[in-house]
Every structure is written in structure tokens, then in C-alpha cells.
Amino acid sequence: MPPVRTLSRRNVRGRGWHKKGYREGGNLFFQLKRTYANFSRTHEVNENETITNLILSMHGDIMGEDPGSLPEDLHYEFHFRRNCLYPSDDMVKTIMDGGETVYAKVFDDERNEYIYEDCEWYAKPKRGRAQ
């Protein structure tokens, strides 16, 4: 039988702020890394929120920054542990424990990843292919 994930109890605190398992008022903290712009910021979310609300709050954080809105053919995706996060009614605490990193990436409809440099969007070169 596969191992079962044990959920953190709400009042349990980890080893310190921004560490795995740390809670403050039921909120957990993680890094939201913008792979298109090479920086990250701390994001805070209640452990009992749904994955849908988590995605909406991360999207709201990103929209308030430069570059914010995207050209029509591009969209944001959020990746956690190499998998894309999709909206669901599962609670955040079922997949995250805090102190981890979620990656915000920009893609087009053909699954090409984009980066933001010098106020313009460029397709990121794919590894392993001769240009």
C-alpha cells in the first residue's frame, strides 16, 4: 500500500517562518517564482483554501506586477513539483505543506515557454535542440 500523506495540524508550527510545516493563523507560506522574469516573492495562503482559490490569488499577485497582462496568445500556468496546478475543490493542505516553491510560467497555445526581457516577450529556447 502506498504511503499516506499526513496533514499538518493547524496549530503546529515548523522550525521557523517560511519553513516546511510552519503556520501562522492557519496560513502557510511558499515562494512564487516567476520563471519568465528570474525572481520570486513569498506568497501566503490559508491552508483550507481550495486549489482554485490558490490559483486565482497567485494570478492576482502576478497581474499586479510588471509585465502584468499578457499578449492575447499567451497565458500563465502554475507548476508545483513539475506538475501543472489545475483548478479543483481540494484543499491546499492536501498538496502543500509550506516552505516549497511554485513556478509561474508563460506559455502559448503550442506549449512554447516564454520569457520577458527588455519589455518584450521572447520564446525560450528548448534544451537539446539545435537552433
Which domains are delineated in the chain?
Answer: 27-123 (3.10.20.90)
pLDDT at 86: 96
Q: Please give the pLDDT value at position 106.
A: 94
DSSP letter for each residue of 9-59: PTT---SSTTSTT--BTTEEEEEEEETTTTEEEEEEEETTSBHHHHHHHHH
DSSP for 66-115, written as a single string: SS-S--TTEEEEEEETTEE----SSBGGGT--SS-EEEEEEEETT--EEE
Q: Which residues, at least 6 apart from 48, have a Cβ–Cβ distance to it below 8 Å? A: 26, 91, 92, 93
The predicted structure's pLDDT at residue 17: 62
Share of the chain above pLDDT 90, in %: 50
Question: What was the pLDDT predicted at 2?
Answer: 61
> Do 113 and 106 form a contact (C-beta atoms < 8 A)?
yes
Which pLDDT belongs to residue 78? Answer: 96
What nine digits make up the cell of 89? 475543490
- Give residue 97's pLDDT: 86
> What is the pLDDT at residue 77?
95
Q: Which residues of the chain, if any, have pLDDT below 50?
A: 13
